[in-house]
């Protein structure tokens, strides 16, 4: 330690509850995790014609991922899947063929929704994508956050003690998972 964690927020909404959740997670994480947001909103829509000549925004984006030890995905669920913006960003990170920068990064997924299943289906689909990209994933604990109004303050303060303790535990488990992954085989930087 310290370990470098890049985090993705799967929502572009100015009022995103997942962005607020990301703030809560950063507040509650162990001190030895250092966070950098991996911004996805400026990427064009990927297609393979870019493979021979990635634009600067995409090269910078990939370099920011490559510099991390681990990746945290904080995402809403759109129509029982991950948002297109996040999938697009993952596709950019995975190409050109053989230059997938997500491979071997220690990953965790979490998300919040007003609905009762709290992004469970989106997370399962995201996990399939990360599996294909050869990213080790924290399997447990899982975290499906039902975001009732007032659960978070805008700065990421959690108003419910049980939820706060759960999220602190989630980040503590992620720290231990990252340590295990790096101990077995260090991720390329
Ligand atoms: C949603 N929402 C939603 N919620 C859910 O639990 N399962 C779903 O499949 C969907 N589908 C969906 C599609 C689209 C296009 C939108 C805009 C919304 C509701 C969603 O959870 C809610 O809008 C959250 O507030 C989105 O997260 P952010 O943007 O606040 O982080």
Residue 9 CA, ligand 1 centroid: distance in Å = 13
For residue 36, count other CB atoms closer than 10 A to its CB.
13
In this predicted model, what pLDDT tens digit does every residue of 158-167 receive, in sequence order?
999 999 999 9
Please say if the pLDDT value at position 169 is more than 80: yes
What pLDDT, on the 0 to 100 scale, is given for residue 189? 76
Nearest CA to ligand 1 atom 21: 113
pLDDT tens profile 51-94: 999 999 999 999 999 999 999 999 999 999 999 999 999 999 99
117 Cα nearest atom in ligand 1: 6
Q: Are 111 and 122 in contact (CB under 8 A)?
A: yes
- What is the C-alpha to C-alpha distance for residues 183 and 186, in angstroms, rounded to an integer? 6
Residue 181, CA atoms < 13 Å, CB-side half-sphere: 24
Residues in contact with ligand 1 (CB, 6 Å cut-off): 11, 13, 16-18, 76-80, 113-115
Cα of 79 to ligand 1 centre, how many Å?
A: 7
Q: Write down the pLDDT at residue 176.
A: 97
pTM: 0.97
Confidence bin at 122 (pLDDT 50/70/90): very high
Secondary structure E strands in the chain: 3-9, 33-37, 70-74, 106-113, 144-146
Residue 11: the pLDDT is 98
Burial track 50-89 (b if 16+ CB lie within 10 A, e otherwise): eeeebeeebeebbebbbebbbbbbbbbbbeeebbebbbeb
**Nearest CA residue ID for atom 15, ligand 1:** 78
Distance separating the N- and C-terminal Cα atoms of the chain = 15
CB 3 within 8 A of CB 175: yes
Torsion-angle region of 118 (φ positive above 0: left; ψ -120 to 50: alpha; else: beta): left
At 186 the pLDDT is 67
Q: What is the DSSP letter of 4?
A: E
Average pLDDT, the chain: 97
ipTM of the complex: 0.99
Distance 11 CA to ligand 1 centre (A): 9
Nearest residue (by CA) to ligand 1, atom 14, is 78
Residue 113 CA to ligand 1 centre (angstroms): 6
Residue with CA at minimum distance from ligand 1 atom 24: 113
Q: Is the pLDDT of residue 184 over 90?
A: no
pLDDT of residue 137: 98
pLDDT at 42 > cutoff 70 = yes
């Amino acid at each position: 330690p310290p370990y470098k964690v890049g985090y993705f927020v799967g929502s572009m909404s100015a009022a995103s509850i997942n962005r607020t959740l990301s703030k809560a997670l950063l507040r509650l994480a162990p001190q030895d995790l250092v966070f950098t947001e991996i911004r996805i909103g400026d990427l064009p829509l990927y297609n393979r014609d870019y493979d021979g000549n990635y634009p600067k925004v995409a090269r910078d984006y990939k370099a920011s991922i490559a510099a991390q030890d681990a990746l945290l995905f904080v995402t809403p669920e759109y129509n029982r899947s991950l948002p297109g913006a996040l999938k697009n960003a993952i596709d950019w990170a995975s190409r050109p063929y053989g230059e997938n920068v997500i491979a071997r990064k220690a990953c965790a997924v979490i998300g919040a929704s007003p609905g009762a299943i709290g992004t469970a289906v989106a997370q399962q689909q995201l996990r399939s994508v990360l599996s294909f990209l050869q990213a080790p994933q924290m399997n447990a604990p899982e975290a499906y956050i039902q975001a009732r109004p007032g659960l978070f303050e805008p700065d990421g303060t959690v108003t419910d003690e049980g939820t706060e303790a759960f999220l602190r535990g989630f980040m503590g488990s992620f720290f231990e998972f990252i340590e295990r992954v790096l101990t077995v085989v260090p991720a390329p930087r």
